[in-house]
Amino acid sequence: MNFKIFVDCLLIPLIMNAPSQNHCSGNIRAKNIPTEVKYILLKIKTETLVPVIIPTVLPRYDIPLIAGRRIEKKYAKDAYDIFYGTSEECDSNKCSFGSTGGELISAITQHPIEEYNLGISLYKRSGRLPENQKKTEESGGYITLSKGINGFYIPSFCYAYCSDAKIVWQQDEYQYYVALSRGGTLKELTKIANSAIENQP
């Protein structure tokens, strides 16, 4: 890594709690960057062309979180995911408490209604009784987020495993999401999604 980039974009903001220099922002759409995310952003910004959004409300504040990333090969530079968990290599809900991500909208982008209907279908076919009846049957649908942005809420469904609860929305030509593992609620997810939207310049 270039020493100037290391100092300007990582060391100074981390030690002095100061904003990054202009040349550090790249494709980052965030006024404030939580400490847990600063390290991983240096890697992500070189791997994706999608403007990265950062929530200021993270999945958990009662334990130290480590942010990791996954770049799907099928998307190349057209998508990113950031996971918040117990290790940088964590990319499943076994060790992750939640995630955020975005992608360029294209022919392979899954519409949130399709994802919601798939979750219902798999849940019904499994014949499995929900571990938490109320959360599993919580209705998904359109919601209004900060700045009047329309979002779509997808609850957690339990079948062979329990999927993450998720809010998906679109800005310009991109589709973004925030997700919570382990039975996240609509109220919790809305706080995270709104914090990501409000944190944009």
What is the pLDDT, as a whole number, of residue 188?
92
Question: pLDDT-based confidence at 137, cuts 50/70/90?
Answer: very low
Q: Which domain holds residue 98?
A: 54-198
* Confidence band for 143, pLDDT divided at 50, 70 and 90: very high
In a domain, 174, yes or no: yes
14 within a domain of the structure (yes/no): no
State yes or no: pLDDT of 134 exceeds 90: no
pLDDT of 2: 46
- Give the ranges where the chain is alpha helix by DSSP (H): 3-6, 12-16, 22-25, 35-44, 112-126, 133-136, 186-198
The pLDDT of residue 94 is 64
Q: Is residue 81 part of a domain?
A: yes
What CATH number has the domain bearing residue 156?
Answer: 3.40.1000
Q: At residue 27, does pLDDT exceed 80? A: yes
State the average pLDDT over residues 137-146. 82
Residue 27 maps to a domain: no
Question: Amino acid identity, residue 76?
Answer: A
Query: How many other C-beta atoms lie within 10 A of the C-beta of residue 27?
Result: 15
Helix (H) or strand (E) holding 98: strand 96-104
The verdict on residue 4 lying in a domain is no
Q: Answer yes or no: is 161 within a domain.
A: yes
What does pTM read for this prediction? Answer: 0.77
Among positive and negative, which fits the CA dihedral 162, 153, 44, 36?
negative
The whole-number average pLDDT for the span 44-49 is: 81
Give me the pLDDT at residue 92, please. 57
Cα–Cα distance between 78 and 186 in angstroms, integer?
Answer: 27
Q: Residue 167: pLDDT above 60?
A: yes
Instruction: Answer with the residue of higher pLDDT: 85 or 49.
Output: 49
A 10 A CB-CB count for 32 gives 11
Range with lowest mean pLDDT among 5-9, 37-41, 109-113: 5-9
* Better-predicted residue by pLDDT, 82 or 42: 82
Residue 5, in any domain of the structure:
no
User: Number of structural domains, the chain?
Assistant: 1
pLDDT the model gives residue 14: 56
The answer on pLDDT for 115 being more than 60 is yes
Q: Is residue 128 part of a domain?
A: yes
- Among 9-23, 74-88, 92-106, 125-139, the range of highest mean pLDDT: 92-106
